[in-house]
Chains A and B, each alone.
Chain A
Amino acid sequence: MIVLGIESSCDETAAAIVRDDRAILSNVVLSQIDDHRPYGGVVPEIAARSHLSHIDGVVKQAMAEARLSFNDLDAVAATGGPGLIGGVLVGMMTAKAIALVHDLPLIAVNHLEGHALTARLTGDAPFPYLLLLVSGGHCQLLDVVGPGQYTLFGTTVDDAVGEAFDKTAKLLGLPYPGGPAIEAAAVDGDPKRFKLPRPMTGRPGCDFSFSGLKTAVARLVERLGEAPLSHQDISDIAASFQDAAAGALVDRTRNAIQRHVEIHAGIDGAKRTLVTAGGVASNQYLRSALTALAVEEGFHFAAPPPALCTDNAAMIAWAGLERLRLGLTDHLDFAPRPRWPLDSTA
């Protein structure tokens, strides 16, 4: 089985082709970051226009790099939401058109399901597993039972962790996007120099909160005075922030691990797996912290390589492939969904 995936729900125009033996035959990602950087964030209308300008070229490139023609495909998958609807529509219409012309099954993939299942494309992650999904728009702990089968354990009550990275970067005068900038600055920083709050830590449940941490960084920057921050200050704040954010994520994930074990008591303990995904999951400091947690709790740890943590279409093709196997296809009248929780009961 070979599936073409299309992703256009935020600021990356992407197309990829994957095969059921987990081979990624092509994976094209066109970033719009340069278009949005002057605005300090993604501008929806600019993103939508850019997706329309580039989507055909990106799809053609993905087909060419895989040395395939549309006739070789078994299905077309595209992100159907959640996300910036203008971009989602462009990708979805492109997928519908290819599906109609070549009489292929269409799969509308939940962008979050794309992230959620990537660890099964890049390694072994048998169902059920515990997922920490962390990105600029989302921060959730989910029990993953199978494609389309998710239980939300916890989510953020205010900001997503990726937003906290972006806002902290802005406060420190670091470039957009903030995640990679904070990680780079933190390399020479002392994570112990500033004590920042780790919101919700020690409390029961699996919910997150990051607005307090962001505010604490703002106060700290203010307190350090009028003079521009020194290189060392910036590095130390970045490292302290990263440590606090990772600490909060680890604390909440530990609670979720307990819940996961309780729910799936009958499952062979040797197969228990903690998966992380989403743009923030590319952060190496967080990956180390989660690896340590998994070891401590007797879990395997699985995380896609960083390039497949950030938005891409290989994850959409793979989620499409997993759904296709179960016969979960969609019709040409699929309505893109700007909001689309993985756990519809939550």
Chain B
Amino acid sequence: MKILAIDSATAACSAAVWSGDGIAAHRFETMARGHAVHLMPMVRDVMAESGLDFHDLDFIATTTGPGGFTGLRIGLAAARALAMAAKLPIVGYSTLETVARSPRRDANRRPVLVVLDAKRTDFYFQLFKPDGAAMGPPATAAPDVIAAAVTPQNPVIICGDGADAVFETINAYGVQLERSKGPDVPDAAILAQIAHSDVGSDMKFQFKSRPPEPVYLRAPDAALPRR
């Protein structure tokens, strides 16, 4: 199976090609801005390095957010247009799921709480079972609301680039947290691996089941004029 995966939804930008049974080429850079500049050259480079043509690919995988509105749109616009131009299927994975399912040795048989920085007082979060299945919908909330949502689970592995900022608050609620040393932001290489595993293990996998639709979790800032 050959997959091109990309992500630019959070404070990193990456592209990777999965070919056969492993990653054939990979670029990853942490960056606060500049995703629109770096993403497509990364895609060009991983394609060139893997020696593949776009028509050799089986599908494209992209993150869908939540994350920076601008960043997630850069990745989604790129991924969708690559799929359109190369006539390939496309799958979308949320950034929260991508981080939750990143390989981490310390996550054995514990729920995983992913908390991502939303650049506000609220954070994006979602709780996952040890096998990576979601335990609830993704949401955006203040640290004490996240703590209340997590309390029934104990102990919990916490990860994501917002984990450190909420750690103390959630800990104060009596939830025993273990800070994972694994990846805190999505990485296209891991996304490719997850997508490969899902598509490869499910004979009936439907690309439509994971549409490349944006996950904003927040309405646009816009006030209706007063009459």
Complex CA gap A46/B77 in Å reads 16
Name the CB-closest residue of A to B34: A335
The interface residues of chain A lying within 8 Å CB-to-CB of B222 are: 39, 43, 45-46
A45:B221 contact, CB within 8 angstroms: yes
A333:B220 contact, CB within 8 angstroms: no
The interface residues of chain A lying within 8 Å CB-to-CB of B167 are: none
Complex CA gap A240/B76 in Å reads 48
B84:A59 contact, CB within 8 angstroms: yes
Nearest Cβ distance between residue A17 and chain B, in whole angstroms?
15
Contact with B along A37-71 (1 / 0, CB 8 A): 01110010110110010011001100000000010
Complex CA gap A38/B226 in Å reads 11
A96:B69 contact, CB within 8 angstroms: no
A89:B73 contact, CB within 8 angstroms: yes
The listed residue with most B CB atoms (<10 A of its CB), out of A38, A95, A98, A100, is: A100
Name the CB-closest residue of B to A104: B85
Name the CB-closest residue of B to A46: B220
Nearest Cβ distance between residue A46 and chain B, in whole angstroms?
5
A86:B224 contact, CB within 8 angstroms: no
- B81 interface residue (CB < 8 Å to A): yes
Complex CA gap A85/B224 in Å reads 22
The listed residue with most B CB atoms (<10 A of its CB), out of A40, A45, A101, A334, is: A101
- B74 interface residue (CB < 8 Å to A): yes
Nearest Cβ distance between residue B105 and chain A, in whole angstroms?
36
Partner pick for A85 among B34, B70, B225, CB 8 A cutoff: B70
Contact with B along A278-292 (1 / 0, CB 8 A): 000000000000000
Nearest Cβ distance between residue B211 and chain A, in whole angstroms?
12
**Given known A89-B77, A336-B36, contact A100–B224 (CB-CB < 8 A):** no
The interface residues of chain B lying within 8 Å CB-to-CB of A334 are: 37
- B147 interface residue (CB < 8 Å to A): no
Complex CA gap A116/B216 in Å reads 37
Name the CB-closest residue of B to A41: B225
Interface of chain B residues 70 through 109 with chain A (CB within 8 A): 70, 73-74, 76-82, 84-86
- B120 interface residue (CB < 8 Å to A): no
- A92 interface residue (CB < 8 Å to B): yes
The interface residues of chain A lying within 8 Å CB-to-CB of B70 are: 48, 85-86, 89
The listed residue with most B CB atoms (<10 A of its CB), out of A43, A60, A332, is: A332
Number of A-B residue pairs, CB cutoff 8 Å, is 97
Partner pick for A43 among B69, B81, B86, B220, CB 8 A cutoff: B220
Complex CA gap A98/B77 in Å reads 11
Complex CA gap A59/B82 in Å reads 13
A94:B77 contact, CB within 8 angstroms: yes
Complex CA gap A43/B220 in Å reads 8
Complex CA gap A55/B79 in Å reads 12
Name the CB-closest residue of B to A53: B214
Complex CA gap A59/B84 in Å reads 10
B85:A102 contact, CB within 8 angstroms: yes
- A97 interface residue (CB < 8 Å to B): yes
The interface residues of chain B lying within 8 Å CB-to-CB of A98 are: 81, 84-85
The interface residues of chain B lying within 8 Å CB-to-CB of A24 are: none
Complex CA gap A42/B76 in Å reads 23
B84:A335 contact, CB within 8 angstroms: no
- A218 interface residue (CB < 8 Å to B): no
- B44 interface residue (CB < 8 Å to A): yes
The interface residues of chain A lying within 8 Å CB-to-CB of B54 are: 101
The interface residues of chain B lying within 8 Å CB-to-CB of A100 are: 40, 43-44, 82, 85
Contact with B along A311-332 (1 / 0, CB 8 A): 0000000000000000000011
Partner pick for A332 among B34, B44, B69, B80, CB 8 A cutoff: B44
Nearest Cβ distance between residue B2 and chain A, in whole angstroms?
15
- A93 interface residue (CB < 8 Å to B): yes
B85:A89 contact, CB within 8 angstroms: no
- B11 interface residue (CB < 8 Å to A): no
The interface residues of chain A lying within 8 Å CB-to-CB of B73 are: 48-49, 52, 86, 89-90, 93
The interface residues of chain B lying within 8 Å CB-to-CB of A93 are: 36, 39-40, 73-74, 77-78, 81
B84:A56 contact, CB within 8 angstroms: yes
The interface residues of chain A lying within 8 Å CB-to-CB of B43 are: 100
Complex CA gap A334/B37 in Å reads 6
The interface residues of chain A lying within 8 Å CB-to-CB of B174 are: none
Interface of chain A residues 10 through 49 with chain B (CB within 8 A): 38-40, 43, 45-46, 48-49
Nearest Cβ distance between residue B8 and chain A, in whole angstroms?
9
The interface residues of chain A lying within 8 Å CB-to-CB of B221 are: 45
Nearest Cβ distance between residue A42 and chain B, in whole angstroms?
10
Interface of chain B residues 6 through 48 with chain A (CB within 8 A): 34, 36-41, 43-44
A–B complex contacts, Cβ < 8 Å, 10 sampled: A39-B222, A45-B221, A56-B81, A90-B77, A93-B74, A96-B40, A96-B81, A97-B81, A98-B81, A101-B86
Given contacts A93-B73, A94-B77, A98-B84, 12 further A-B contacts (CB under 8 A): A38-B224, A39-B225, A59-B81, A70-B85, A86-B69, A89-B77, A93-B74, A97-B81, A97-B82, A332-B41, A333-B40, A334-B37
Chain B interface (Cβ < 8 Å from any Cβ of A): 34, 36-41, 43-44, 54, 69-70, 73-74, 76-82, 84-86, 214, 216, 220-225
Instruction: List 5 tightest A-B contacts by C-beta distance, closest first.
Output: A97-B81, A45-B220, A101-B85, A93-B77, A94-B81
